[in-house]
């Protein structure tokens, strides 16, 4: 019988991620913490967004922190968007290739 360690990331009482990779779980947890801080900041500025929109926006910004940082430094949004995978399936496939490459190395 095999023993499998699973890491579960919960956010606001909801299971968001289950993985066997501790590093992946830690990164996802940190991303959610940053998203919470962004949501608090945005809400504190009084924009009046509904909770779902606020959560979606803050998670989007947190997940794309590198691209957002480039925008603050003057990068062109159209060029950044053109560099990104065209859809979620392509992004997932790219992520899987990276994981496989790391395993072989």
* Buried residues in 25-64 as b, exposed as e (16+ CB within 10 A): beebbebbebbbebbeebeeeeeeeeeeebbebbbebbee
Tell me: pLDDT of 94 over 80: no
Residues 16, 37 share a domain: yes
The whole domain housing 104 covers 76-105
Count of domains for the chain:
2
Contact indicator for 17, 28 with CB cutoff of 8 Å: yes
pLDDT tens figures, 33-86:
999 999 999 999 998 899 999 999 999 999 999 999 999 999 999 998 898 876
Residue 24 falls within a domain, yes or no? yes
The tokens of 89 are what? 């399936």
* Chain position carrying tokens 């499998």: 4
Residue 70 falls within a domain, yes or no? no
Q: Against a cut of 0.85, is the pTM above it?
A: no
Q: Which residues pair with 45 in a beta bridge?
A: none
Residue 71 falls within a domain, yes or no? no
């Amino acid at each position: 019988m095999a023993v499998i360690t699973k890491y579960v990331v919960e956010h606001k009482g909801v299971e968001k991620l289950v993985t066997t990779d501790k590093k992946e779980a830690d990164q996802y947890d940190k991303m959610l913490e940053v998203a919470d801080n962004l949501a608090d900041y945005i809400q504190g500025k009084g924009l009046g967004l509904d909770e779902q929109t606020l959560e979606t926006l803050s998670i989007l910004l947190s997940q794309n922190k590198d691209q957002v940082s480039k925008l603050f430094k003057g990068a062109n949004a159209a060029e950044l968007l053109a560099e990104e995978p065209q859809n979620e399936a392509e992004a997932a496939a790219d992520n899987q290739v990276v994981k496989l490459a790391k395993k072989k190395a």
